[in-house]
Chain A
């Protein structure tokens, strides 16, 4: 049992380590800086969105609309390039993400509806919007040289994108563990009612969580569009699932109240290095799917097996406890 609990505690590190070791054995030259840099860059897009989602999940909410926001923000940042220049367009693009997040947050808090359903709806809305404003055709940017510069590898390992991701996740780690607002997020996620009673403005925290998540999805979308010099209504359609998987592999729970930035970093890196390793070996996409699905299930089962104590399986998670009536709290 002690072994299991240790294994569970460090499962992200273990699985990341195993992935790296096996990859290094199978893929020649895996540990070269350029390969690692590549894996990091591949992980950065998922990672940036995962940062936002980590905060939301800890607060007991979820956001399915990230992939669609990613597309809309990228499209806007490319479409406006001709009118207002590249940098202002990029800023507006990120702000579009912020606004999208604010819409999500305002609706979840204001209407008191479940975030799973609500962001399912806004995902549909934002995705339709992306098709609408582009007439379902990809749009091109003005400066391809910028795209090349953005994808350049610095210090043999970082691209701008992956450096941003690392910086943000370290900042998030300190914010979550060292500051009061950061710790309040956990309180809101693990017991909203108690958090409210102890004077924490849960609604505000949830709202800002959505704004944060939207902004980061927007940022990731803008970066993607700049790197490819293209805004496309189909970008990001597969992202949401990958992001949720990465965050959960990193040990953050969908039930709220538990999770960490460094865990997410581990989860994102695991997925990134696994993808690169399997691609280097020409593993078919459907086998990759099976492997990542298995890892996901294995990790959550392990997590459960060790930490069930004191919590009946299937206990109503915080994610779904925002409606007082069916909650049975008639007192």
Chain B
């Protein structure tokens, strides 16, 4: 029964610790996931900054499950925390939970992804990149590469996922807005997975062949899948311009070697830090803007050597 003893010791430590921190403010952070290329560095940055600010973080991971997240908001309210930072994975489902937080006088902000306008009354601010904005930037970048004319395929993330919806609709809306003469041949879901993107790209290349004059992938991982599929099919021919999002290290490499046209860098570290800084200001009673973006940098061959990759 070693387990019991350690447990009791653990408990004692926890009790001591909790009394020691009793005066500190606690912020509930409902994050997208614990183990993820973008979310992990964002979480770490947020927690590190919180430590500097003397704020205690109660970190809850949704593990990409919206339903779990909606229930975790209740946990936050029950813990009577001083603030909530929510990473929404759905534009609407959290609204009742946020409303409950408001009833309990707990201020809430959104990190990383936006929610629908209906959520506005219940949140103090939305910090971080805007996936919809990223879609628009990608559209601009791709239409620049194509000279405003062509036909493209979209390799989208998981169906029904907030990031996917934002990045796809941002892209298509922007094409309409600018009256670009760019046709979307097809939009396929590859779940942010490189292998799935590879398989589906093979089929797209077989189906459309030379009709494809440009590619938009919802993230760099899937862009890589298309590049590999293109190389298999046309070893000697250069691929059409490919635009990705995230700014991964390997995407930078691909841009240098002309395999990819552009990617969009958003820094997870800045994302995390901005959120906790904003929350700290709110707790101190300061007014904050309802929209605090982090810089989004479109990286092409022109600036690939002067920008840091995101991860």
A and B touch in the complex (CB under 8 A): yes
Q: Does any Cβ of B come within 8 Å of A45's Cβ? A: yes
Give the chain A neighbours of B78 by CB distance below 8 A.
34-35, 38
Contact status A136-B160, CB under 8 Å:
yes
Residue of B nearest to A67 (CB): B67
A38 CB, nearest partner CB in chain B, Å: 5
B146 close to A (CB within 8 Å): no
- Tally of contact residues, B, Cβ under 8 A: 45
Q: Which of A22, A35, A232 contacts B93 (CB 8 A)?
A: A232
Q: Bound complex: CA of A22 vs CA of B9, how far in Å?
A: 11
- Whether B34 pairs with A227 at a CB distance below 8 angstroms is no
Q: Which residue of B60, B90, B159, B160 has the most chain A CB atoms within 10 A of its CB atom?
A: B160
B34 touches A284 (CB 8 A): yes
Residues of A within 8 Å of B8, CB to CB, are: 25
Query: Are A138 and B75 also in contact (CB < 8 A) when A229-B96, A279-B60 are?
Result: no
Nearest residue, chain B, Cβ from A226? B96
Contact of A238 among B63, B91, B95 (CB under 8 A): B63
- Closest chain A CB from B13 CB (angstroms): 9
Main secondary structure of the interface of A (DSSP, over half): helix
Option from B11, B66, B99 in Cβ contact (under 8 Å) with A144: B99
Chain A residues in the interface with B (C-beta under 8 A): 22, 25-28, 34-35, 38, 41-42, 45, 131, 134, 136-138, 140, 144, 147-148, 151, 224, 227-230, 232-239, 276, 279-282, 284-286
Question: For the complex, is B258 an interface residue (Cβ under 8 Å from A)?
Answer: no
Contact (Cβ within 8 A) B96 A227: yes
> Does B57 reach chain A (CB closer than 8 Å)?
yes
Q: Which of B73-115 contact A (CB under 8 A)?
A: 74-75, 78-79, 90-97, 99-100, 103
Q: A26-B11, A282-B58 known; A237 and B65 CB under 8 Å? A: yes
Closest to B189 in A: A136
Given contacts A131-B160, A136-B159, A281-B14, contact A227 B70 (CB under 8 A): yes
Complex alpha-carbon distance, A134 and B75, angstroms? 29
Docked Cα-Cα span, A140 to B119, in Å, equals 12
Contact A228 B93 (CB under 8 A): yes
- Knowing A131-B160, A144-B95, A227-B70, say if A280 contacts B35 (CB, 8 Å): no
Would B72 and A229 count as touching, CB distance under 8 A?
no
Q: What are some 16 contacts across the A-B interface (CB < 8 A)?
A: A26-B14, A41-B74, A136-B165, A137-B165, A138-B90, A138-B93, A140-B116, A144-B96, A144-B99, A147-B99, A227-B96, A228-B97, A276-B75, A282-B58, A284-B61, A285-B34
> Are A230 and B93 within 8 A (Cβ)?
yes
For the complex with contacts A28-B18, A234-B158, 18 further pairs of A-B residues with Cβ separation under 8 Å are A25-B8, A25-B14, A26-B11, A28-B14, A34-B78, A38-B78, A136-B159, A138-B93, A140-B92, A144-B95, A148-B96, A151-B74, A228-B67, A229-B93, A234-B160, A235-B67, A237-B65, A285-B35
Contact of B66 among A131, A227, A235, A281 (CB under 8 A): A235
Cβ-closest 9 pairs across A and B: A25-B11, A147-B96, A285-B61, A136-B159, A230-B93, A228-B93, A234-B160, A282-B59, A233-B160
Which B residue sits closest to A234, measured CB to CB? B160
Residues of B within 8 Å of A26, CB to CB, are: 7, 10-11, 14
